[in-house]
Amino acid sequence: MTVAKIAVSAATYWIDRPYDYLVPEELAEKAVPGARVYVPFARGNRRSEGIILALTDHSEFEQLKCILAVLDEEPVLTADQIKLALFMRDRFFCTVYDAVKAILPAALWFNDDGSRRVKDKTVEMARLIIPTEEASALAEAKKRRSPMQAELLDMLCSFEALPSKDLIHVTGASRQSLRALCKAEVIELYSREVYRRPNLKDVERRALPQLNAEQKEAFDGLNRLALQGKAGAALLFGVTGSGKTSVYIHLIQQQLERGKSAILLVPEIALTPQMLQTFSSHFGDEVAVLHSSLSPGERYDEWKRVRSGKAHLVIGTRSAVFAPTPDLGILIIDEEQEETYKSENSPRYHARDVAKFRCAYANCLLLLGSATPDIVSRYQAEIGKYAYFSLPNRFNEQELPAVKIVDMKRELRQGNTGSISSFLRDEIQTNLERGEQSILFINRRGAHKLVSCGECGYTYKCPRCTVSLTYHSANKRLMCHYCGYSQRLDDVCPDCGGAFSYVGAGTQKIEEELQEIFDGIRVMRMDTDTVTPAGSHEALFDQFREENIPVMVGTQMVTKGLNFENVTLVGVISADQSLYAGDYRSGERTFSLITQVVGRSGRGQKPGRAVIQTFTPGNETILQAAAQDYEAFYRSELELRRLQQTPPFQDLLAITASGLDEGQVVRACRFAKQRLQDMLGSDPELRLLGPTPLAVVRVNNRYRYRVHIHCRCTSAVRDAVSQTVIECCTDKRFRGVSVFADNDPMD
């Protein structure tokens, strides 16, 4: 007999394991590892989807159910991808099927009625089935009695095959004429699969960029590692504008010439069009793009192009790390420190961890690149686990932007209550006079952080979350950025009838202030309110460049990867905003944001300037970011991490509970903490902290508390954490409480 080990989609985390099913003889040919199946599951034999992980000839169980149907003509997962799914289950505390769903595109899944969510796109083609000479003679004979059929034959004599729709359109013939030729067995109609591709700009093919001495040295060292055919990791540190992308291009070219594939990850969808344009100019149709703004059909067809070997270079955001590239040669993560590489939903994976696994199995190089590397990555390079290369100077030999720190407390004392300091205002005016462009960064959308009554102190709170509502002046509504709740702003305070005061600023408010100060100046705003439609990032960036719009105001999406030669001024409106977030990464996050956005200035031939506005001008992190001194920041931050015993000196895991009843959520966390203490109490490095509320304790009426686990993340620790989560989920005392585990949570 043949027994299939199957991961079942209906299995929850606490009962997730490979289930044994018999393979009927009639399905034996298709029932292979990596293929999806329908199986009866649980006592009610409810039909559930599953995926075959392995085949064997025996089982420890006597009575086995049979597979009902095989859903795929050929396997959708390779052996390596099955191993990856099992690795993700162990490392990221998810079910195998959750991992499989992350690996495969959504278009591959089925609706409840068994139909595919997205079907292959085909086009009807026409071609001759008689020799060309015979067809040409027949066309000549038909010119008098059937001129339209003659036109069709003449056209097909010049081409191997043509889409029937185009053939009819060009010749002016009718569908009836086409059918007559088919009936006469002169031509045939058939379907050919075509790929739905994202709208890409036509770009001229260009030669590879020239490397300067520093880039050449880094490329030579990295290329030696990549050509060894061994698993390895390297960190490429390069100041903003140092030309890391040029090094990537040369490394990828080397791999493609060897017949290998490559993956390049970028942190934001906004960066994908710019990267895609750059790489398409060098690699043409070898490039495939994968990100969430594509339609399901486009994403599916790009996935198929990669899987079939028609595209050997994949560019995309976090999920592109799963691209089914055959014979992977190099995997590059650009701006590797970015939080967007961490998934917030199950499976809660970090793209860097998945990339390490893939490179280990493919025996290839993982390259991490950044101007502000993750502290853990930099430490791994320091102790020799990663190879280390640096680009300390800008490619165009321009100096880094001159940075001015502005004390906003002094501005308040001088009577300036606005968000834009007098110094920044003068610098923007200078740019306007020169015809140069400016970028202003503030990491908050909307107009005001909150609206408050000046007489009684009343503030608008979200009824479902423990946050204040943000005022959006564009539609005069108050909105919660966590659950989406919104309401109209009252004319006066609903408690006492007093007048409102507006506290804090967001992108909308900065846009309004600029237009008031500079009398209707054109300002482009880049935040999630303006770039929601697919492709709008690219359109707005192109408009900013081509129309020379004087000022761009934006959130994090304007801080990295953008290259505008006419941008000579960058302003950081509120540098303190992320500095005191209560997370051990807050200093690193602030340093990275400021350094990255300052680096958008002076990337052409004109020198750049930057203005950092802050209420704490003496803060060490802000001073180091202003000086673009990553090494000084790294040293001070590393000592702080050593004292805190946070990564890289200890691993950090967390068990999070959420539910409608706050007391029940807290009790679940206390139970989890006690169970971990019972199982791991002998570990001298173990520290259990909590239960502690998350920064926003209630979101959409669900309370959220967490237990932090500081230790070395060994298999024994992961097993204990997994067992604790399972016990919490199955304990009737905590019914209605959702409990999950996470590696190094970002919030």
CA–CA separation, 592 and 596 (whole Å): 6
User: What is the total count of domains within the chain?
Assistant: 5
Q: How confident is the model at residue 334 (pLDDT cuts 50, 70, 90)?
A: very high
Query: Which residue, of 391, 422, 438, is where some domain finishes?
Result: 391
Do 418 and 561 fall into the same domain? yes
> In this structure, what DSSP letter does residue 448 have?
B
Examine the domain organization and report whether 520 and 632 are in the same domain. Answer: yes
CATH code of the domain covering residue 15: 3.40.1440.60
Assign residue 723 the CATH number of its domain: 3.30.70.600
329 and 256 co-located in one domain: yes
* pTM, 2 dp: 0.90
Signed CA dihedral, 210, 213, 218, 219: sign only: positive
Residue 478 lies in a domain: no
39 in the same domain as 20: yes
Q: In the listed set 104, 139, 164, which residue is the last one of a domain according to the structure?
A: 104
Is 98 in the same domain as 126?
Answer: no
One domain for residues 136 and 276: no
Does the pLDDT of residue 722 top 90, yes or no? Answer: yes
Clarify whether residues 637 and 664 are in a common domain.
no
Residue 299 resides in a domain = yes
d(CA 445, CA 506): 5
pLDDT in tens, 203-214: 778 889 999 999
Q: Which domain holds residue 141?
A: 122-193
Please tell me whether residues 386 and 535 are part of one structural domain: no
Tell whether the model's pLDDT for residue 372 goes beyond 90: yes
Q: Does the bond joining 347 to the residue before it have cis omega, within 30 degrees of 0? A: yes
Task: Kindly tell me if the per-residue pLDDT of 557 is higher than 90.
Answer: no
Question: Alpha-carbon distance 473 to 393, whole Å?
Answer: 43
- Domain contains 205: no
Establish if 477 belongs to a structural domain.
no
For residue 610, give both structure tokens.
């930057």
Q: Do the Cβ atoms of 48 and 1 come closer than 8 Å?
A: no
Write down the pLDDT at residue 90. 94
304 token code pair:
């198929």
Judge if 656 and 736 occupy the same domain. Answer: yes
Return the closest-CA partner of residue 101 out of 8, 38, 174. 8
Phi/psi for 288 (5° steps) reads -120, 150
Q: Read off the tokens for 411.
A: 């501005």
Tell me which of 389 and 284 has the higher pLDDT: 389
pLDDT tier, 535 (very low <50, low <70, confident <90, very high otherwise): low
- The 10s digit of each residue's pLDDT in 80-97 is 999 999 999 999 999 999
CATH of the domain at 387: 3.40.50.300
Task: Tell whether 276 is covered by a domain.
Answer: yes
| β-strands 365-370, 328-334 pairing | parallel
Q: Do 406 and 387 sit in the same domain of this protein?
A: no
Q: Where are the beta strands (DSSP E) in 194-304?
A: 232-238, 261-265, 287-290
Residue 481 lies in a domain: no
Confidence of residue 64 (pLDDT cuts 50, 70, 90): very high
Whether residue 551 is found in the same domain as residue 676: no
- Residue 391 · residue 373 · CB < 8 Å: no
Average pLDDT, the chain: 91
Interatomic CA distance for residues 367 and 476, integer angstroms: 47
Pairing assessment for the beta strands 609-614 and 567-572 based on DSSP bridges: parallel
Note whether residue 515 is domain-resident: yes
Q: Are residues 186 and 237 in the same domain?
A: no
Last residue of a domain, one of 641, 676, 691: 641
Residues belonging to the chain: 747
Q: Is residue 63 part of a domain?
A: yes
